[in-house]
Structure 1
Amino acid sequence: MQMNATYTSLVAVGDSFTEGMSDALPDGTYRGWADLLAARLAARAPGFRYANLAVRGKLIGQIVEEQVDTAAAMRADVVTLVGGLNDTLRPTCDLEAVCALLEEAADKLAPSCQQLVLMRSPARRGPGAGRFQARIERLFECIDELAARHGAVVVDLYSAEALGDPRLWADDRLHLAAEGHRRVAEAVWQALGHEPEEDWTAPLPPSAPPAWYLRRAGDLRFAREHLVPWIGRRLTGRSSGDGRPPKRPELLPYEV
């Protein structure tokens, strides 16, 4: 397939990153990079259709079970598959099983579309960032291998220092904020062969670090509002996505 084609449809598969957390809109819903990408593709192709099957909190096994067959049946021009990172953050994680499930997903999705897009997910820089480094690197090796096998595009967000800047991340320290999602949309846009509209890897302007008391207040707020609830869900086996439907379950025309 030639890059920079006029794509007429997009299906996004994955977890909270692809759902759009935490690029919040005024009504409390989330937008995110996939919606932004769909809007840009739709501006070039009248009748463009878009589905987003992603649901927050999903592990790769759930993505394969709940989303992949549905996405493959839609026969979209472009399919984005991002998953597995939630698995690597669990206390126990069978990386080879995760890679096998990613392989199953790619094997089903690649023949169903014109262009499969995979990603090396971004990571926030800072204390504790290297705790899961070995797992993440193995996950990325698997992604590279699948891309080579299927002719998929790999968008390397992880290597972009700018996307590690804490200022591009939400208060929960797990999800990108609006500017981060906007940069991811630009990265995928360019990976699909379109002319760059900006340098998505450009660093943010330097800024003075916040005062010590502001950092500590932020740490306390993070622990109270995000970390403790996250630990509670892990201990009880619950997920933030339990019972939640996909944001756009059908491949329908996308209004720009």
Structure 2
Amino acid sequence: MQMNATHTSFVALGDSFTEGMSDALPDGSYRGWADLLAGRLAAHAPGFRYANLAVRGKLIQQIVDEQVETAASMEADLITLVGGLNDVLRPKCDVPKVCALLEEAVERLAPACRQLVLMRSPARRGPVAVRFLPRMEELFGFVDDLAARHGALVVDLYGAHVLGDPRLWAEDRLHLDGEGHRRVTEAVWQTLGHTAQFDWTEALPDSLPVSWPARRAADLRFTRQHLVPWIGRRLTGRSSGDGLPPKRAELVPFEL
């Protein structure tokens, strides 16, 4: 394991979390932690190259089928793989199968790069998340074991209390906002052995309680704009990423 190494290339694999939802830019596109990390790494390595194969909504089988071989063939210095959470958040999930597919991906990716990074994904605090916590913890326990066996690093976002704060999540309650992604970038940066730029685990300042009418209005808006469409996609077998290409399909120089 090489810590604080100079990486000259980086490939990110995954779903909406790695694509960058919901760290929105003025033009409507998404930035996210992987783009931010690429920018930091590029500042220390002239000619730095970056690819992001992530597509929102992808399940672990799709990540294995559509992203893993492509990423391995790029022979990048650094690869990040985050997947499986979309699977465990579905009503029915075969967690051992998800773990087996994740292992298949790691077995292909670990020998193809200098450093592989895995993550324990963050979870928003709230009544919905509680239902899925046992599955998530089973998956994350396997991630730890997998990393130990293959020399990968693990970024523990799930264990960071601050990333469960609803104020770091977008209105859809599924994706981190811009500040959340900034903290994830710092978490990965520090895990790679670089000097800390700030304490990404620091709690947000206390805020005044939100009134019941405001909470009710937010719940209704969330249900109408996000929950109902999400249920509709589940019932019809569609995904938010259907037909979308990878974010950055080629390993090319990254412009700061």
TM-score by length of 2: 0.99
**Contact 2:15-2:57 within 8 A present in 1 as well:** yes
**Contact 2:55-2:246 within 8 A present in 1 as well:** yes
Alignment of 1:215-226 (within 5 A): 215-226=215-226
Q: Distance in 1 between matches of 2:150 and 2:200?
A: 26
Deviations 1:120-170 (A, max 9, x none): 000001223210111101101110111001110000000101111100000
1:2 deviates by 2.1
**Contact 2:79-2:113 within 8 A present in 1 as well:** yes
Q: Distance in 2 between matches of 1:128 and 1:135?
A: 13
Q: Secondary structure at the match of 1:130?
A: helix
User: Residue 135 of structure 2 aligns with which residue?
Assistant: 135
User: Residue 15 of structure 2 aligns with which residue?
Assistant: 15
Which portions of structure 1, spanning 4 or more consecutive aligned residues, are displaced by more than 2 angstroms? none
Structure 1: which 5+ runs fail to align? none
User: Residue 171 of structure 2 aligns with which residue?
Assistant: 171
Alignment of 1:90-169 (within 5 A): 90-169=90-169
> Which shifted more, 127-136 or 30-39?
127-136
1:230 deviates by 0.1
**RMSD across aligned C-alpha pairs, in angstroms?**
0.6
Q: Distance in 1 between matches of 2:43 and 2:70?
A: 25
Is 1:47 matched up with 2:47?
Answer: yes
Q: Secondary structure at the match of 1:50?
A: strand
Q: Distance in 2 between matches of 1:163 and 1:193?
A: 21
Structure 2: which 5+ runs fail to align? none
Code of the aligned partner of 1:49: R
User: Residue 209 of structure 2 aligns with which residue?
Assistant: 209
Q: Distance in 2 between matches of 1:204 and 1:112?
A: 39
Q: Secondary structure at the match of 1:206?
A: coil
User: Residue 86 of structure 1 aligns with which residue?
Assistant: 86
Q: How many residues align?
A: 256
Q: Distance in 2 between matches of 1:96 and 1:193?
A: 32
Code of the aligned partner of 2:128: G
TM-score by length of 1: 0.99
Q: Secondary structure at the match of 2:249?
A: strand
Q: Secondary structure at the match of 2:196?
A: coil
Deviations 1:40-81 (A, max 9, x none): 000000000000000000000000000000000000000000
**Contact 2:19-2:55 within 8 A present in 1 as well:** yes
Deviations 1:144-203 (A, max 9, x none): 111001110000000101111100000000000000000000000000000000000000
1:101 deviates by 0.2
**Contact 2:14-2:53 within 8 A present in 1 as well:** yes
